[in-house]
Amino acid sequence: MRQMDNNVTSIRVGYQCPSNIALVKYWGKKNGGVQLPANPSISWSLGDLYASTVIELLPRNLDQAFVFTLAGEPKPSFEPKIASFLTKIASDCPWLSDYTLLIDSQNNFPHGTGIASSAAGFGALSLCLAHIEQLLLDDASLQTEVGGMNFWQRSSYLSRIGSGSACRSMFAKPAIWGETPASNGSSDLFAVEIDADVHPSLSDWKDVVLIVDDGEKSVSSTAGHALLTNHPYAEARFGQAQKNLVGIVSSMKNGDVKSFIEIVESEALQLHSMMMTSIPYYVLMRPNTLAIIEEIWRFREQSGLSICFTLDAGANVHFLYDGNIEETVMNFVNNTLLQYCKNGQYLCSDTGKRPNQTV
């Protein structure tokens, strides 16, 4: 591995990484805590809701593993998460101990809107680290396999250790994380792209995130996953997710939009059911969450359009729709759904973009 001497110009690498929205949900970890999923999940990347991170690598001359800034400003509240991440990946990336990382990051969407900012953030950070690793291996082409993984798998692998859902942010096609017979090459260690083309009726969907609540999450996802340990319905849920993963992959390949919608909405409601039936229990929907869901159902029944909703572990609603009907959908959002959004806030994104190198 190449060593930087103190006279060499520092290495600077930057990546923009999308957030993602799960269609079949990751909710629960194996063995009650390690960063491996209890069931496989699948998501679409949200290319217009992303994190941009630049890392500058300096020879370590102070006893400081990293310096973090958020859009150029110090942000001490983010430091413990990054410190813990770097400690967890230390055995995978022993080179880290020779350097100090100057990390600057920012999201293009507001923090605390319930968008998976940790997915985009850990994704962008891990892409930078995997790229730096290639440069230190003297291979700028990103072709060198590390630990039997190509560059994208390695980035996905590292980001998984930071936040499980982040590992699905590396791909343009639907990303699958967790072993499943539904798609070749699937793994618990990193995400892979679906192993076939997605049918045109499901390959160009978009997402409008309707912000019902922009406050702090009432339960962190780490605490949320832990609620599945000793949960009375956990095994049944993991079985359902396995089955839904197989079903959704088949509907994406065959273009069975009806079955796709049924699985996506059922998954969102199962996720919330698990929260409602754990100890302690949580109701994360707000009255406006339900109002939006009912409006979407009513509109779908009247119009027959390809639209549906999904939820994260919070009150906001992801309204998913076929990109071909964008004008009709946006009229519906502005005329009917806007009244339920906190301060009229919503965010729009395409699905299916992969990360970009920026520096």
Residues forming contacts to ligand DP6 in the complex (CB under 6 A) are 22, 25-27, 41, 116, 118, 163-165, 221-222, 225, 271, 312-313
Cβ contact 299:351 at 8 Å: no
The gap between the terminal CA atoms of the chain, to the nearest Å, is 22
Which residue number is nearest to ligand DP6 in terms of Cβ?
164
Buried b / exposed e over 160-182, threshold 16 CB at 10 Å, is bbbbbbbbbbbbebbbbbbbbeb
Question: 14 or 28: whose CB is closer to ligand DP6?
Answer: 28
Closer CB to ligand DP6, residue 14 or residue 121? 121
Tell me whether residue 97 or residue 222 sits nearer to ligand DP6 (CB atom): 222
For residue 204, count other CB atoms closer than 10 A to its CB. Answer: 14
Cis omega (within 30 of 0) for bond into 280: yes
What is the smallest separation between the CB atom of 221 and ligand DP6, expressed in angstroms?
A: 3
Cβ distance to ligand DP6 smaller for residue 82 or 136 = 82
What minimum distance in Å lies between the beta carbon of 186 and ligand DP6?
Answer: 15
Provide the minimum distance between the beta carbon of 205 and ligand DP6 in the complex, in angstroms, as a whole number.
17
Between CA 240 and CA 263 the distance in angstroms is 10
What's the closest the beta carbon of residue 352 comes to ligand DP6, in angstroms?
Answer: 16
263 vs 313, beta carbon nearer ligand DP6 = 313
In 156-315, the DSSP E strands lie at 175-177, 191-193, 205-210, 307-311
CB atoms within 10 A of CB 218: 15
* Residue of 187, 194, 133 lying closest to 164 (CA atoms): 187
Nearest to 350 by CA among 117, 172, 191: 172
Query: Residue 67, SS3?
Result: strand
In the bound state with ligand DP6, the residue whose beta carbon lies nearer, of 225 and 231, is: 225
In the complex, minimum distance from the CB of residue 22 to ligand DP6, in angstroms, rounded to a whole number: 3
Cβ nearer to ligand DP6, comparing 44 with 152: 44
Shortest Cβ 85–ligand DP6 spacing (Å):
10
Instruction: Name the residue nearer to ligand DP6 (CB basis): 25 or 206.
Output: 25
Amino acid in the structure at residue 260: F
Q: How many Cβ atoms are within 10 Å of 72's Cβ, its own excluded?
A: 8
CB of 174 to ligand DP6, least distance (A): 13
Scored b (16 or more CB within 10 A) or e, 262-289 reads bbbbbbbebbbebbeebeeebebbbebb
Give the nearest distance from C-beta 28 to ligand DP6 in angstroms: 9
